Structure 1
């Protein structure tokens, strides 16, 4: 029983540390620049991992835990409906990058 009570404070510390971990999702315009990075991010491929990590680190987060293409309908209120951002046959695409501290 005494050893159980001794472990109790450390369990609270672990729980408090996990609760303080911050996760944030950034929605960015996925612009084609000719290098294929846009497709790496949109398809969630390994080649997008460094770009996502760099994006998170530039915003003072430690790592990127996920990245994927986002349908404009998933974004509420901040992105015009499909077709509104199309010019010359090219429509804007958006990527969600999940960052963690």
Structure 2
């Protein structure tokens, strides 16, 4: 009977700790800067992990759980239509970074 109570207690602790985890998705402009970080983030390459982690930490989150390119059509109402953010034939890209506490 004690082991049943211990098991229930452990499951409760694990479930409760997950309930306090906070996740937030940040949509940011990802302009080409010549350093390649923009492509690492947009292609979800391993090289983008540190950039995404540093971004999350700068906003008081512990880690980045994912990062990827976002099509402007996925974002409603806040991103101008195609062509509005273009200069000299280059258009800004957007990246979603998911941060967790």
TM-score bracket, shorter-length normalisation: over 0.9
List per-residue Cα deviations over 1:39-61 (Å, max 9, x = no partner): 01000111111100000000011
User: Residues of 2 paired with 1:2 and 1:39: CA distance?
Assistant: 54
Q: TM-score, normalised by structure 1?
A: 0.93
Question: For structure 1, which segment, 43-52 or 2-11, has the greater mean C-alpha deviation from structure 2 after superposition?
Answer: 2-11
Give the equivalent residue in structure 2 for 1:44. Answer: 44
Paired residue secondary structure (2:84): coil
Paired residues in the alignment total: 101
Matched with 1:35 is 35
Contiguous gaps of at least 5 residues in structure 1: none
Structure-2 residue corresponding to 1:90: 90
Matched, 1:66 2:66: yes
Question: How far 1:10 sits from its partner (Å)?
Answer: 2.8
In the superposition, the TM-score normalised over structure 2's length comes to: 0.93
Segments of structure 2 that go 5 or more residues without pairing to the other structure are none
Please, what is the CA RMSD of the aligned residues? 1.0
Q: List aligned pairs for 1:11-22, cutoff 5 A.
A: 11-22=11-22
C-alpha separation in 2, matches of 1:69 and 1:6? 44
**Distance in 2, Cα, partners of 1:7 & 1:36:** 49
